[in-house]
């Protein structure tokens, strides 16, 4: 299933078979009908029996099964998330994590807009409550950006809005309690902020996407491993043509990437069609956008997603994406649909590897930020 969330808080789930695979560089198809002045902000792939953990701006986390979300088609608007979860007045969802492993062998890693990180045992989130539980303590003016599940041995990759990135092993972060505030993950400039975090193996690849539809994938080995708390190195050569960075994801050759624009356009492309290039480059065009439109959400779809049993409608939910690159889209109100898609896949020139700016991105000593272990004294500093 593909789960989509909009800025004004509408949510829905759609079968992956609703979206055909295309060559990179096309305009895409309508992925969601949004209200006026609304836009898609998050999208991800999950099995129907997975739990979804919703992390809010207040530091709370709530649970729901994927099959409990409203099922819709590509053109449906979805349902307000307030009618799905029990949110307090003024509370907003900042990040969503699909998961089914809540034990001591897994950790939940979080990163905030200002570069603060925290790692907590997944077993501490194993007992859902209707009103939610506290996940972390956020400082004033900071927001939760993203959350990932790890097994304790992964490499952490944090990307920033201005094209910087830092790479370190998660052993650099010790496990903390649910209410801890965390430690510094990356040191940011005054006009920069964190846009995402990827969890990968040392031999994996990092997919970087910019707001104007450009992207690239680069081996993790291209980013030297450092200690947490440094300034990092250049991840993407940000120019007026590419725009700033909006997403970083860990990928493999057999995955597919799905991009959604602010106007609701969507394109699904095999990762194998995007060639591996260097770290300090501009990338290639992934999606052709209209004037004023920009990429808002990026999702990675594994080659094959299997769901045990059937969903609540009695349909088999197993999806196999390993077939041909182009498939027929099945609309909810039509028998078949053959949308005409502009698949102009012109590449842009890569930035020279000689433009790497390692001298301006030397690591600085790791500096811990305030760390809190209980609700009793949230203002205490080290």
CA distance 202 to 275: 19
* pLDDT bucket at 15, cuts 50 / 70 / 90: confident
Mean pLDDT of 192-204: 89
Helix/strand/coil percentages in the chain, nearest 5: 10, 35, 55
Token readout for 9 is: 């808080």
CATH placement of domain 2-357: 2.120.10.90
Mean pLDDT of 39-63: 79
* pLDDT bucket at 51, cuts 50 / 70 / 90: confident
pLDDT at 14: 83
Mean pLDDT of 129-149: 85
Mean pLDDT of 186-205: 90
CA distance 29 to 264: 9
Residues 154 and 107 sit within 8 Å (Cβ to Cβ): no
Choice among 134-138, 216-220, 327-331, 365-369 with the minimum mean pLDDT? 327-331
Q: Reply yes or no on whether the pLDDT at 190 is more than 80.
A: yes
pLDDT at 27: 53
* pLDDT bucket at 158, cuts 50 / 70 / 90: very high
pLDDT at 169: 92
For CA atoms 260, 261, 267, 272, give the dihedral sign. negative
Between 193 and 60, the higher pLDDT residue: 193
Q: Reply yes or no on whether the pLDDT at 36 is more than 80.
A: no
Between 177 and 364, the higher pLDDT residue: 177
In angstroms, how far is CA 27 from the centroid of its own chain? 21
Between 84 and 76, the higher pLDDT residue: 84
Instruction: For residue range 77-119, list pLDDT tens digits in order.
Output: 788 888 888 787 777 887 888 877 788 889 999 999 999 999 9
Instruction: For residue range 211-263, list pLDDT tens digits in order.
Output: 999 999 999 989 999 999 999 999 999 999 999 999 999 998 888 888 888 88
- For the entire predicted model, the pTM comes to 0.68
Phi/psi at 104 (nearest 5 deg)?
Answer: -80, -5
Q: Reply yes or no on whether the pLDDT at 382 is more than 60.
A: no
Phi/psi at 185 (nearest 5 deg)?
Answer: -100, -40
pLDDT at 344: 42
pLDDT at 371: 44
* pLDDT bucket at 379, cuts 50 / 70 / 90: very low
For CA atoms 185, 191, 196, 198, give the dihedral sign. negative
pLDDT at 52: 86
CA distance 22 to 113: 33
CA distance 63 to 210: 31
Instruction: For residue range 283-340, list pLDDT tens digits in order.
Output: 999 999 988 899 988 888 876 544 333 344 434 433 344 443 433 333 434 443 444 3
CA distance 265 to 367: 42
Pick from 280, 206, 198, 207: nearest CA to 238? 280
Residues 274 and 284 sit within 8 Å (Cβ to Cβ): yes
* pLDDT bucket at 207, cuts 50 / 70 / 90: very high
Q: Say if residue 49 is exposed, middle or buried (CB neighbours under 10 Å; 0-12, 13-18, 19+).
A: middle
Residues 87 and 153 sit within 8 Å (Cβ to Cβ): no
Residues 6+ apart with CB under 8 A from 168: 155, 156, 225, 226, 227, 228
Residues 6+ apart with CB under 8 A from 114: 139, 141, 142, 188, 193, 194
Q: Give the CA count within 13 Å in the CB-facing half-sphere of 46.
A: 24
Phi/psi at 292 (nearest 5 deg)?
Answer: 85, -15
Report the phi/psi class of residue 163: left, alpha or beta, with left for phi > 0 and alpha for psi in -120 to 50.
left
To the nearest whole number, what is the mean pLDDT of the chain?
A: 75
CA distance 258 to 46: 13
Q: Give the residues across from 120 on adjacent strands.
A: 108
pLDDT at 325: 40
Share of the chain above pLDDT 70, in %: 71
Token readout for 104 is: 């001591």
C-beta atoms surrounding 41 within 10 Å: 17
Q: Give the residues across from 250 on adjacent strands.
A: 206
CA distance 186 to 194: 9
In order, the DSSP letters of 333-380 are TSS-B--------PPPPPPPGGG--GGGG-------------SS-TT-
Residues 135 and 109 sit within 8 Å (Cβ to Cβ): no
pLDDT at 7: 65
């Amino acid at each position: 299933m593909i789960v989509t969330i909009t800025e004004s808080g509408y949510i829905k789930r759609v079968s992956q078979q609703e979206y055909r695979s295309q060559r990179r560089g096309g305009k895409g198809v309508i992925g969601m009908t949004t209200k006026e002045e609304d836009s898609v902000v998050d999208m991800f792939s999950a099995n129907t029996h997975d739990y979804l953990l919703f992390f809010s701006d207040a530091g709370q986390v709530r649970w729901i099964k994927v099959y409990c979300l409203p099922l819709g088609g590509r053109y449906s608007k979805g349902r307000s998330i307030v009618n799905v979860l029990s949110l307090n007045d003024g509370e907003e969802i900042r990040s969503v994590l699909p998961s089914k492993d809540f034990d001591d062998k897994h950790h939940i890693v979080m990163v905030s807009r200002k570069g603060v990180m925290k790692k907590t045992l997944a077993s501490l989130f194993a007992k859902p409550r209707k009103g939610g539980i506290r996940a972390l303590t956020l400082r004033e003016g900071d927001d939760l950006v993203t959350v990932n599940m790890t097994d304790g041995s992964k490499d952490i990759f944090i990307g920033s809005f201005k094209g910087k990135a830092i790479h370190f092993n998660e052993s650099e972060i010790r496990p903390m309690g649910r209410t801890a505030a965390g430690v510094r993950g990356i040191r940011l400039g005054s006009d920069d902020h964190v846009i995402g975090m990827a969890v990968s193996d040392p031999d994996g690849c990092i997919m970087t996407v910019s707001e104007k539809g450009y992207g690239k994938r680069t081996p993790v080995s291209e980013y030297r491993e450092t200690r947490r708390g440094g300034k990092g190195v250049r991840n993407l050569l940000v120019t007026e043509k590419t725009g700033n960075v909006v997403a970083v994801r860990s990928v493999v050759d057999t995955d597919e990437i799905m991009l959604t624009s602010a106007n609701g356009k969507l394109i699904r492309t095999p990762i194998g069609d995007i060639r591996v290039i260097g770290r300090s480059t501009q990338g290639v065009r992934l999606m052709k956008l209209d004037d004023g439109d920009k990429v808002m959400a990026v999702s990675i779809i594994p080659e094959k997603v299997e769901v045990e049993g059937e969903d609540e409608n009695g349909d088999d939910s197993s999806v196999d994406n390993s077939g041909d690159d182009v498939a027929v889209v099945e609309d909810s109100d039509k028998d078949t649909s053959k949308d005409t898609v502009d698949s102009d896949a012109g590449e842009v020139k890569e930035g020279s590897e000689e433009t790497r700016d390692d001298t301006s991105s030397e690591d600085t000593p790791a500096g811990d930020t305030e760390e809190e272990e209980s609700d009793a004294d949230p203002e205490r500093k080290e």
